[in-house]
Structure 1
Amino acid sequence: MLRNNRGGFSLIELLVAMAIFAFLLALAIPAFSGWLQNMQIRNAAESIQNGLQQARTEALRRNTTVRFQLTTSVTNSCAISTGQANWVVNLGSSTTNDPTGQCGAVMPATVSQWIATNAPFILQTFSASGSPNVVAASNGGAANWLVVFGSLGQVVWPTASSTQWDLSNPTGGACASASGPMTCMRILVSNNGRIRMCNPNLASGTPQGC
Structure 2
Amino acid sequence: MKALMGKPEINHSSHKERGFTLIELMVTIVIFAVLSAIAVPGLKAFIIGARMRTQSSDVIGAINLARSEAVKRNSGVTICRSANGTTCQAAGSNWAAGWIVFADPNYDGVLNTGETVIRAYPALSGNTTAVGSGGSAQNLVFTGLGRPLPTFTGGKITMCPPSGDDQSNCRTVCVNSQGRPRVDTPAELAADSYCGN
Bucket of the pairwise TM-score, normalised by the shorter protein: 0.7 to 0.9
8 Å contact 1:154–1:192 — kept in the other structure? yes
In the alignment, which of 56, 65, 76 is matched to residue 45 of structure 1? 56
Deviation at 1:20, TM superposition (A): 1.3
Report which stretch shifted further, 54-63 or 131-140.
131-140
Q: Is the Cα contact below 8 Å between 1:40 and 1:133 reproduced in 2?
A: no
SS of aligned partner of 1:188: strand
Aligned residue for 1:201, secondary structure, equals: helix
Matches within 5 A, 1:1-210: 4=15, 6-71=17-82, 73-75=83-85, 79-80=89-90, 82-85=93-96, 86-92=98-104, 93-95=106-108, 97-98=110-111, 119-129=114-124, 131-140=125-134, 144-156=137-149, 159-173=151-165, 175=167, 182-202=168-188, 204=191
Shift of 1:49: 0.3
Deviations 1:132-168 (A, max 9, x none): 3211222337x632001111111117x1421111111
**Partner Cα distance (2:73, 2:57) in 1:** 24
Find the residue that maps to 2:162 and give its secondary structure: coil
- Structure 2 gaps of 5+ residues are 1-9, 193-197
The letter of the residue matching 1:74 is N
Regions of 4+ moved over 4 Å: 75-78
Q: Which has the larger radius of gyration?
A: 2
Query: What's the C-alpha RMSD, in Å, of the aligned pairs?
Result: 2.8
What secondary structure sits across from 1:9 in the alignment? coil
| Partner Cα distance (1:84, 1:154) in 2 | 21
Q: Tell me, yes or no, if the aligned pair for 1:69 and 1:147 is still in contact at 8 Å.
A: yes
Q: Secondary structure at 1:155's aligned position in 2?
A: coil
% identical equivalent positions: 26
Instruction: Check the 8 A contact 1:88/1:125 in 2, yes or no.
Output: yes
Which moved further from structure 2: 85-94 or 53-62?
A: 85-94
1:14-62 deviations in Å (ceiling 9; x for gaps): 1210121022212222222222222232221110000100111100111
Counting matched residue pairs gives: 177
What TM-score do you get using the length of structure 1 for normalisation? 0.71
| Secondary structure of residue in 1 paired with 2:134 | coil
